[in-house]
Amino acid sequence: MGLPLRMDNIHAPTVPAGPSSRPLANGNAKHLSFAELQAKKDDMEAELKALSGVLDSHGVNMETPLTTADGFPRADIDVAQIRTTRARIIRLKNDYKDLLNTLEKYLHEHFASIQDADDVAPGSANRTEMLGDSIPVTLEEPFAKVNSVVAGSPADSAGLKPGDEIRNFGYVNRGNHDGLKRVAECVQGNEGQRILVKVTRRIESNQKQELQLNLTPRRDWGGRGLLGCHILPL
C-alpha cells in the first residue's frame, strides 16, 4: 500500500483565480445604467458575505493553513470546499474592484458633462456656484456631515467647509456607506485621483446650496491623512 501523496500546492485555488466576469466590469458594464451597476455591486457584496460565512463555518479564513506540519492535507476540515470557496472569493474581489472603478468612472463622466453644461451657461461662475436645473429633481439624502477642515488640506482646496452635509462621496451614498467604511475605501482606492463629492450647504436658516466639488486625496499636503478633514455619520 503506497503512502498518500503530499499536496504541496494545496493552497492554490481549485480553479483559475482570475476574474469570473471581467468583461462585465470593463466591457458590457459601460452599457448598463447606474442603477443596474449598483444592483450588481450589491449582489457581489452579498455573495462575498455569504462566502465569508462558509469559511467561518469551517473555522478558517483566507490565510489558514490547509496542510499539516509535514505537508499533508488536514483531515479535520473540508479542504476541497475551502479551496473552492477561496478561489471564488478571489475572483469576486477582482470583479468587485473593477466594478467600483466602473462606477467611479460613470459618476465622473456624468457630472463632468453636467459641469460642462454649467460652464457654457450664461452667468456661470466657479465650481462652488449654486446649481440649478443641472441637479436631478430627486437628490440623495445626506449621510455624513463635515465636522472640521484643516487649512491647506485637499478637503480645503476642494472647497469643503465645516457643516457641509455629504450626499455622495464618489460612489458612496446613504444606502451603502456602511458606517462611513465605504468612504475610507473610496479614499484609499483613489489616492491622487479626483473624487466627485456632492454636498448640501446651509447658507441661511431656511436656504440651502447644492454643490458638487472635486476632491483629490493625497499625502503630500503637509498634514495627517489623505483628506485633511473629519466627517461624522448622520
| 161-197 pLDDT tens trace | 999 999 999 888 888 888 888 898 888 888 888 888 9
- Same domain (yes/no): 144, 221: yes
Q: What are residue 79's phi and psi, to 5 degrees?
A: -60, -45
Q: In terms of domains, do 130 and 222 share one?
A: yes
pLDDT of residue 137: 45
The C-alpha angle with vertex 218 and arms to 161 and 93, in degrees rounded to 5, equals 105
Q: Decide if pLDDT at 27 tops 70.
A: no
pLDDT tens for 31-87 read 667 778 888 888 888 888 888 888 888 888 988 898 888 888 888 888 889 999 999
Structure confidence at residue 170 (pLDDT): 87
Residue 115 lies in a domain: no
Note the pLDDT of residue 205: 72
| Same domain assignment for residues 55 and 149 | no
Q: What is the structure's pLDDT at 117? A: 52
- Kindly state whether residues 44 and 135 are assigned to the same domain: no
In a domain, 118, yes or no: no
Beta-bridge partners for 198: 168, 212
Provide the percentage of residues in the chain whose pLDDT is more than 70. 74
Instruction: Return the pLDDT at 115.
Output: 56
142 & 93 share domain: no
Long-range contacts of 42-47 (CB under 8 A, 24+ apart): 42/176, 44/92, 44/95, 44/96, 44/99, 45/96, 47/92
Residues 125-150 have a mean pLDDT of 64
Report if residue 16 sits inside a domain: no
Residue 205 and residue 132 in one domain: yes
**For the domain that residue 217 is a member of, what is the CATH number?**
2.30.42.10
189 part of a folded domain: yes
pLDDT band at 113 (very low <50, low <70, confident <90, very high): low
* Structural domain range at position 31: 22-110
pLDDT tens digits, one per residue of 5-21: 444 455 555 444 444 44
Q: Averaged over 199-206, what is the pLDDT?
A: 83
Give the whole-angstrom CA distance, residue 195 versus residue 118. Answer: 19
Instruction: Kindly report whether the global pTM for this prediction surpasses the value 0.85.
Output: no
Shared domain for 59 and 94, answered yes or no, is: yes
Residue (of 217, 183, 210, 32) closest to 106 by Cα position: 32
User: What confidence score (pLDDT) does residue 120 get?
Assistant: 47
Asked whether residue 170 falls in the same domain as residue 80, the answer is no
Last residue of a domain, one of 76, 110, 144: 110
**pLDDT for the residue numbered 112:** 63
Residues 102 and 153 in one domain: no
Confidence at 104, pLDDT banded by 50, 70, 90: confident
Do the domain assignments include residue 224? yes
Predicted local distance difference test score (pLDDT) of residue 21: 43
- For residues 172 and 85, state if they share a domain: no
Q: In the chain, how many domains are there?
A: 2
Q: Mean per-residue pLDDT for 123-150?
A: 63
Q: 220 and 155 in one domain?
A: yes
User: What pLDDT, on a 0 to 100 scale, did the predictor assign at position 130?
Assistant: 42
In the prediction, which pLDDT does 169 show? 92
pLDDT at 211 over 50: yes
Evaluate whether residue 12 is within a structural domain: no
